[in-house]
Structure 1
């Protein structure tokens, strides 16, 4: 996903200028170590559940002040430094946008994306 292009396209949507005062972006990348025990990781296999991702995206997009949420999850075998997950949350004010980014990130990682680390 080209994050700059995605933001540019989002800004062209009708209603953007009337409803958006903040964009927050998450760009998750593959680490070279495991969060469990900091052991070395040479690659990971990522299996996103795209139907669940869309369900979660729609659910969070209904929250107060949120104009649009864009989610892009890569899949397959990825190596450290590769992009893993992009999230863009566009909304009115930071008090509404900041918690949504945090909550949707945690929910996606818990309920819609499976990762298998390989040494």
Structure 2
């Protein structure tokens, strides 16, 4: 059975209705790429207020961050200290199998400030 793909804008229009009715205080997006963000932004009446994506030293999302800044969309990083266990569920050319907490610079800064790498 093939999944039914619903255009993002169709879902967004429902969220806009609830936002305009006062039932939602803010609406945003997660795991959108630059093309998806721009398409949604161009069609939306209520513009996305936040984007949440994976972002850490091995996956910095610089272009995505710059687009959000340009469009006045706040940027929230998830997994800023990495995603242990992610290797089991994600593969592909963009996957980086490194642990930010083991990076030499992170360890050096942790030692300098007498903190753990995660801190």
Structure 1 and Structure 2 fold alike (TM over 0.5): no
The structure where helix makes up a greater share of residues is 2
The structure where strand makes up a greater share of residues is 1
Which bin holds the TM-score, normalised by the shorter protein?
Answer: under 0.3
Higher Rg of the two aligned structures: 2
Structure 2-normalised TM-score? Answer: 0.25
Structure 1-normalised TM-score? Answer: 0.25
Of structures 1 and 2, the one with the larger relative CO (CA 8 A, separation 6+) is 1
